[in-house]
Amino acid sequence: TVNLKKGVDSLGCFECCIKCLGGIPYASLIATILLYAGVALFCGCGHEALSGSVTILQTYFEMARTPGDTLDVFTMIDIFKYVIYGIAAAFFVYGILLMVEGFFTTGAIKDLYGDFKITTCGRCVSAWFIMLTYLFMLAWLGVTVFTSLPVYMYFNLWTICRNTTLVEGANLCLDLRPFGIVTIGEEKKICTASENFLRMCESTELNMTFHLFIVALAGAGAAVIAMVHYLMVLSANWAYVKDACRMQKYEDIKSKEEQELHDIHSTRSKERLNAYT
């Protein structure tokens, strides 16, 4: 008897685990993991790449911070760092919200908690998440394009360093003015004949910063893919909610008609009984 009881308890625990695993929105979970990985790569590597860029500009391009409240490249880098902090916090919360929305719109939740009512507020929340996710996807596309600019700039710088070692006597220069880092009237360029250029090419800051920007670009691309994945999940959830709402209306009408037929049948039975009496 004891062994039979243990077997029944084990079977009940196994069924409970299967129900819990069935209630997990795996599509939303995969999109959330991809979003967190992309945001972490973009924010972490982007922050360190910006710090490395400051070191390169100050050490090898001999640039200094402008005194006062003048908006220079170093002030812009500080602003970008604060924007990165905000992006990390905002999308951490947004990922949790999308996971919660996925839990409440998964079909297995109905099996766990019984029949539920699809309210107008629930449909509006699903539509709101779809619109917000679409806007965030466009924003991440813009971030991806913007992140490709420093990758392009560092690729040019890395190419100049590589060509210098391959071609003897080459005199190549990199001017910061076309990239908008300095004003047109301020000439800040570094040439292969200078000592700073040779030290920069041999340093670890250039190679590390270049690869950090590449990883940050990959993280932004992963965030775009996560947003697209979320859009597919939210659209499927919206279709499910819409069908569930229609089914709910059908069940209400059907139940009402059955109740009316039952009342009519009861009334006729009473009338026949009274007539017989």
For residue 207, count other CB atoms closer than 10 A to its CB: 15
pLDDT value of residue 18: 66
The pTM of the full predicted model, rounded to 2 decimals, is 0.76
Alpha carbon dihedral 135, 137, 138, 142, in 10-degree steps, equals 130
Q: Which two tokens stand for residue 12?
A: 């009940």
Whether residue 23 contacts residue 109, with contact meaning beta carbons closer than 8 Å, is answered with yes
What distance, in Å, lies between the first and last C-alpha atoms of the chain? 58
Name the least confident of 71-80, 149-158, 186-195. Answer: 186-195
pLDDT in tens, 213-263: 999 999 999 999 999 999 988 888 777 766 666 666 656 677 777 776 766
Q: Give how far Cα 33 sits from Cα of 92, 157, 186, 225, Å.
A: 11, 34, 45, 11
Q: Which of 88, 48, 77 is nearest to 210 (CA)?
A: 48
* Spatial separation of the C-alpha atoms in residues 223 and 203, rounded to whole Å: 31
Q: Which two tokens stand for residue 115?
A: 């029949």
* Spatial separation of the C-alpha atoms in residues 157 and 163, rounded to whole Å: 10
State the chain's mean pLDDT as an integer.
78
Q: Where are the domains of the chain?
A: 29-239
